[in-house]
Structure 1
Amino acid sequence: MCSHGHSHNCAAEHIPEVSGDDVHRYDMVSYIDMERVTTLNESVDGAGKKVFKVMENRDDKTEFVESDCDHELLFNIPFTGHVRLTGLSIIGDEDGSHPAKIRLFKDREAMAFDDCSIEADQEIDLKQDPRGLVDYPLKASKFGNVHHLSILIAANFGEDETKVYYIGLRGEFQHEFRQRVAIATYESRAQLKDHKNEIPDGITKSLF
């Protein structure tokens, strides 16, 4: 399993809860290459990929993943293309099996627990969140262009095993994101041909 000798020196950030119409959308599940998702230390083979549900089914507690011999779980999540990740949500149980700390690694395919001693791209201290109301923002500088994400659940709230019902990812497929930026950039430019009839005659005559 992962080495627990490395230090965690990142301070816990204040994470606001969101509800109602202000809830974030976690729609990146459609861009996950689900056939290639792997979960290490899951007690039931294939259970880990089932926590990547559409947002509307995140309250479904019939499907979940539980760790096997200790509290750690390691998810390897390939995408069908390059994505921009901006946040995530995790739902666990109301007891000590809920994840308490995660470590995120970008673009390191087929990670094993022995690889987890390297510096993570981001570490997050979690709240117990059985309803999925807490949004955890991801660093834009780290996750602006990602084709593979690894999520290590490094600690829970005290139980021997960890249980996860839902992991939601917020962001955009890079093609869609770049297309919107290109359109916005184009529309923000003043096109002279669109304003040729608005140029005062006085200014036009002064050019000759």
Structure 2
Amino acid sequence: MEHNHVHSHHCECGQETKTENLAELYNLYSKIDMENLECLNEAVENSVKSVFRPWDQRLDSTKFVESDADEELLFNIPFTGNVKLKGLIIIGGEAGTHPSVVRLFKNRPHMTFDDAASQADQELNLVEDFKGTVEYATKIVKFSSVYHLTLHFPKNYGSDTSKIQFIGLKGDWSEGHRHGVTLCTYEATPSMADHKDKVLETTNLNI
């Protein structure tokens, strides 16, 4: 009997540890550039910002994104740095409104539904998940250096509109991309100056 009691207690501890780990692992919401986050076909403007939130708030059903004209939703998610995306969890709305497929695109800012007709970097079939218990693994090699993630939800489980309550993103973040942008800007400036100098020289020669 004592052995069983110890075993039972051990399992409970393991469960608590797992939940704490998930809260730590699913923290990429804090690395999203919320000012430039956008969702196409959302019924309520800027409701997209409410679905990216801490793990312990995942079951808050008052916060959600619902589609407007049809069941499609498209999220353009810019990060504040480079992300190695390892997994995602998607909690949908009530039965029928839960998306049945998600298509992932890497580093293609400001995608539209027309753009999403192209080949996705990964496509996942989704089950109806109302508690955040299903984790989907990404192709880590493919999503190892992501500064912008697009999630396209083309269809759902039969409802006229789709509803998403929570999107959890798991992975590692680094400041890599921001430095890259600074470098590009810096390199572009001298070439403009060179160009002006050349124009000036040509004008002088003509005179």
TM-score (norm. length: structure 2): 0.73
1:22 is matched with which residue: 15, 18, 21? Answer: 18
Alpha-carbon separation, structure 1, partners of 2:86 and 2:38: 22
Matched to 1:122, the amino acid is Q
1:113-192 map, 5 Å = 113-174=113-174
* Counterpart contact for 2:76–2:151, Cα < 8 Å: yes
SS at match of 2:60: coil
Alpha-carbon separation, structure 1, partners of 2:69 and 2:39: 14
Q: Which residue number in structure 1 is paired with residue 205 of structure 2?
A: none
Q: Which residue number in structure 1 is paired with residue 74 of structure 2?
A: 74
* Counterpart contact for 2:87–2:136, Cα < 8 Å: yes
How many residues of Structure 1 are paired with residues of Structure 2 in the alignment?
Answer: 158
Identical pairs, percent: 47
Matched to 2:128, the amino acid is Q
After superposition, give the CA deviation of every residue in 1:144-185 in whole Å (9 maximum; x if it has no partner): 110000000111000010000000000011359xxxxxxxxx
* Counterpart contact for 1:58–1:165, Cα < 8 Å: yes
Q: Does 1:108 align with 2:104?
A: no
Matched to 2:88, the amino acid is L
Alpha-carbon separation, structure 1, partners of 2:175 and 2:77: 19
Alpha-carbon separation, structure 2, partners of 1:148 and 1:77: 6
Matched to 1:58, the amino acid is R
Matched to 2:149, the amino acid is L
1:32-111 map, 5 Å = 32-111=32-111
Q: CA deviation at 1:93?
A: 2.1
* Counterpart contact for 1:145–1:174, Cα < 8 Å: no
4+ residue runs over 4 A deviation: none
SS at match of 1:142: coil
After superposition, give the CA deviation of every residue in 1:20-77 in whole Å (9 maximum; x if it has no partner): 5334331101110011100000001001121001111111111111000100000000
Alpha-carbon separation, structure 2, partners of 1:86 and 1:47: 25
SS at match of 1:77: strand
Alpha-carbon separation, structure 1, partners of 2:132 and 2:50: 16
| Greater share of residues in helix | 2
RMSD value over aligned CA atoms?
1.4
Q: What runs of 5+ residues in structure 1 fail to find an aligned partner? A: 1-18, 177-208
Q: CA deviation at 1:116?
A: 0.8
Q: CA deviation at 1:94?
A: 3.4
TM-score (norm. length: structure 1): 0.73
* Counterpart contact for 1:81–1:173, Cα < 8 Å: yes
Alpha-carbon separation, structure 1, partners of 2:163 and 2:117: 23
Q: What runs of 5+ residues in structure 2 fail to find an aligned partner? A: 1-14, 177-207
